[in-house]
Structure 1
């Protein structure tokens, strides 16, 4: 059921229209009343209104100004203007505000009922269109990129039945047919882009797909997705070839274009990528086989390769399987981090990375092994210091960053180490500042008795460590600060009290007045008596 709002500065007109017409028969269950445009806008902001009937001639804000605001803020609301003979032509100008109809005053019940009945039917029809087939198709088209990505991922995993596939290919308007000659192109971004967020990654991947479409779109159909490994995967078919009769020369031409794509990504996006092109096969039966083979090659052979291009039959080469001995030698990464030996940690990490790069065809499992040891040391350090690692490095996104090559491991690990070290240094600096403040507060509150030993006892630190910490933070010794504060307090007492010199000396913690006068003279060039006489 719908709701209606009647607006007129004459209450009798509003009340008459509200109570004399059987609105329920018009499928309107709620009628709101407003005696000014201001009241009408207030009701619209608080209640769901479908139709507004407004008089043109109202003070402060007239009906046309009201429907203009309604049009701007509540596009779904239908407006009807009431006007006298003098304003009728003026009312016609309100068509740009989406006014549905105009009624000449005095309004007859029949005319009003006819207009409202028509608007009710229009509103019902509009809502029906929202759920109609045309709107569903429109929504489907808007969702097509996500649906296509999901469908291709299902095919990669071998999870799609052929009968369902045929229907979805037609529904999603994908130009792939059973028996087509196809291959895969996998694009792996080599730089970890540690400062990037998910939106930045999405835009980068979108740009790469656009370059691929621009270069290959005339001769090939491309169907892309992002797989579970974080790689961009493109399923490719030649537009001019059907029924598995692919031409070897055309395949070589495609490989040449793929190589050029790699160069263009570097040229225009300033990003290093590896591109691996599979052998050619049949759609859809060879999809899972081709994809599985290409991923296996990436995992087993390309862990320490960066910016490489491979195509067709991959060369056979021995896979490195020896342990990463250097990673576990003492002192371990965990021990180095625990004792804050930052430079030694960094050097050991670089040595491990160098060994991995020199190992030849290293597998991705070795990268994951090293990644696990490194991140475990980071977690241990953070939790031992009662912190979350995500807080130390500034975000959770960098903890979830994919690391599948030695180069990415190196960039990620050193980035994380720098973040943790800077966070630790900031925390240490803050801790020293707090300790300095605590020391000074104690001295200011205990000027007569303060000494290195009493301060050390009060804050539970060794006197030697306390002295070094304060000196390193402020550039002056604790004794110097104590004496400076005593002299400042003495000046204050000499100025603003009648205390005798020996009494001030006692309050400042000096053994005798003579020694106090000597220290005062060294500080200000005159004795306390001379200072007071000068005042």
Structure 2
């Protein structure tokens, strides 16, 4: 759970955020904002649950802040602090469903009581949404088999005329139509493995219900589980809805889903969302692309939100069942499920040893299918199988790889590991490129707005996803990097130029010279002028 404290008096914000035991209430992170506008920027990029705001602030009052929040998110709980017992302010706060209106300075009992009330309201609302009893009832009474199969058919590329799509959508009561749609793919991470043998469908339906609750205010939501194990949601803006920026709204709602599932179902999600596309014409194509992004960029990393701008069987001598049972090898490779792909290869070899120990044809059949799957994966990633394998390609070219079951097992497992390493290297290269772009942009534009949202828009990533990528690659947060860069540049300019302190302040992105001096002294123990004069801390 995350909270933000908003007040134009910095000492109030710092005191409330740093000296109170918020972690004992289950609040993992407390954000600080010194104006309403700054608070809205933080709320736009973080899954905020509770807002504690002063009522009287320049530019935007606490009441105006709540009013703006309510237009964007009706679930955020707001608590107002005021230095005046003003009935009109209190009345307006209640009209906007503030949890409480407290006079400054509030006692700990008053403040903690208001926060506990907000948390109770949040828990009550989300427990209702995520209730397994409710989802079990929905699953039993309203299992949407026809709706789910229709979406699966579309994702898999089954050909249907526009007229057939329209007819089925109407017959099934689905409020979708030709036009702009987006896909959201959700991968349940390993914490949900404990439900694999008991309760997995209930968890999946709980997540579908939560997605509908979070996104349903702004868009139509149609969800289904597909064969790779993803939960796939088709999304379309509601007719006559509010004029909003669709891309950022979808990212924010996806992050909210991720956060609420972790909070109430105790498991994590990774999410890939597509750009908006013409439905149904590009449905299958966009689905395949989104699935490949899990493999190419998200890979084994967790908790990311990523935006992406066969005739009759022969009875003799018998088929290789393990080779073709779903999920097939090619599907496991496409989804980036490396461990499951290795288990698949071992299962194929085990069946060969058990049923066809002397059949060269079955060994060759398995080898051809495995090789085709490997080659397909390499080509999907813009690679050549021969370049990835090096000397191992010779065993394939001369047929030695399929000469025996043991040779097939050794060769295929070895190639699988090389493919995994090769695609992992591509992921790292892509992430390194993002870091380079961020650092180059920041270096050139330090005097301008280099907030996380601006940087994320520059590289076309969600802010939370960009933060994680940068921290993984550099070991340093983006805000820490920007602060360090500003101080390093300030030190250099103080020693090598005769520019005024206020000029240096503006050139490194501090519009308020007094604030720059305060930050500089906190960092180095001396003021910028003292540093220029050669003074050091004692």
TM range (shorter): 0.3 to 0.5
| Structure of higher CA gyration radius | 1
TM-score by length of 1: 0.39
TM-score by length of 2: 0.39
